[in-house]
Amino acid sequence: MKTIFTIISINLLSIINAQYRLSDPEATKETVNLYNNLVKAQAEGYFVGHQDDLAYGVYWKYQEGKSDVKDVVKDFPAVYGWELGDLELGRDKNLDGVPFDKIKQYIREGYERGGIITLSWHTNNPITGNNAWDTSCTSIKDILPAGSKNKILEDYLDKVAAFFLDLKGKNGEPIPILWRPFHEHTGTWFWWGVNSASDDEYKELFKFSVDYLRITKKIHNLIIEYNTSADYSTVEEFIRRYPGDKYVDVFSFDTYQRSASEDENKFLQQLDTLLSVMNIAAKEHQKISAIGEIGYNKIPDKYWFTKILKPIFDKHEFSYVLFWRNAGFKPDRNEVEYYLPFRGHPAEKDFIKFYKDKNTWFEKDARKMKLYQ
């Protein structure tokens, strides 16, 4: 998009800053600046992001300067999503096979160009030792403080902390990170979800993890995200597992249009409800809103971005939207997976139109906004 959000008066900015404050009182200057600029920006538009954008695309992997998004719109996304799953096991690559040293490199590159970094963590189950999707436990009390396996969780967090502490800008400043831990927690498919962790256990897990990183590991460059599944219709449902204002900075949800057979009107209505309810909760708690994940695999509707998403997005305020990854061919499933168009895709022209919209911000816009200053 070509126009940047308008200059807000000093008085109005003072009001905004008084209402919205980071949950970490010791947050670094760059982290505070990013947060304040996200607060300002969401009133006029939203940043567009993509998971694993610099690492690979549908037909390529690990090519310097390459990006499916950039191939289509001649610009990088404003938000870069990366995954930390398997870091806690001491492995060199994450659960999607991306080397952690490359992820650090890509994070630094995106930050230096003015982009925003967000990290998810599909952490392995510290109770069973299996992956994040192992929901065989019916309680997670053993990993909470005083639990018999709390030390395992601490060891996991130590490795995450070491990763965070190694993320530095050119001047040695910690790179601000939007961290989305224990996401989609209202679903049933993760060990921290509703079938394995009670609401109180989840809250304690969330608070312990944030406190451990802030207090024990002295990490103060995190903007913490509270992320649900697409399964709520009331504020009460959205915040039922909310750990509290002292631990959260951003409200978000994840949602996907699953198939062409899914009724478009149903998806539109659901997306509208998800944003409406989340924004009510966000205003009540003075938090930023975001869409943590979204997508429509293979984008069968070539007008999906402007016909389906844009009309709903334009009705609501939120700071960013992250489209899921262009994984390409997945041999284990014998299928192709991608959520943003690549060059030559039928939805390419529609995505270019989406890019040019005045409310969508990509990396060139983010750089001009100087989000960390």
Residue type (1 letter), 37: N
Distances (CA, A) of 229 to 187, 226, 244, 267: 6, 11, 18, 14
Does pLDDT of 6 surpass 90?
A: no
Residue 131 has pLDDT above 80, yes or no: yes
pLDDT for 237 beyond 90: yes
Question: What is the mean pLDDT of the segment spanning 196-218?
Answer: 99
pLDDT at 359 over 80: yes
Predicted local distance difference test score (pLDDT) of residue 332: 85
Q: Confidence band (pLDDT; 50, 70, 90) for 180? A: very high
CATH superfamily of 29-369: Glycosidases (3.20.20.80)
Q: What pLDDT, in 10s, does the model give residues 134-169?
A: 999 999 999 999 999 999 999 999 999 999 999 999
Cβ neighbours of 283 (radius 10 Å): 13
What's the one-letter identity of residue 305? F
- The one-character DSSP state at 138 is S
Question: Residue 19 pLDDT more than 90?
Answer: no
pLDDT digit string (tens) for 185-197? 999 999 999 999 9
pLDDT given at position 18: 54
CB 301 within 8 A of CB 307: yes
Residue 48 structure tokens: 């567009």
Task: Using alpha carbons, list the distances in angstroms from residue 276 to 198, 242, 269, 279, 282.
Answer: 26, 18, 10, 5, 10
- Contact indicator for 276, 238 with CB cutoff of 8 Å: no
What is the reported pLDDT for 209? Answer: 99
Cβ within 8 Å of residue 200, ≥6 positions away: none
54-85 pLDDT per residue, tens: 999 999 999 999 999 999 999 999 999 999 99
pLDDT band at residue 170, thresholds of 50, 70 and 90? Answer: very high
Give the residue carrying structure tokens 């919209």: 357
Structure confidence by residue, pLDDT tens digits, 269-318? 999 999 999 999 999 999 999 999 999 999 999 999 999 999 999 999 99
Q: What is the percentage of the chain residues whose pLDDT exceeds 90? A: 91
In sequence order, what are the beta bridge partners of 288?
A: 250
Q: Which two tokens stand for residue 115?
A: 């982009």
Q: What is the pLDDT of residue 7?
A: 43
Taking the C-alpha atoms of residue 104 and residue 82, their distance in angstroms, rounded to an integer, is: 10
Query: What are the distances in angstroms from CA 264 to CA 138, 309, 322?
Result: 36, 11, 20
Q: Is residue 333 pLDDT above 90, yes or no? A: no
Phi, psi of 28, deg, nearest 5: -65, 160
Domain limits of the chain? Answer: 29-369
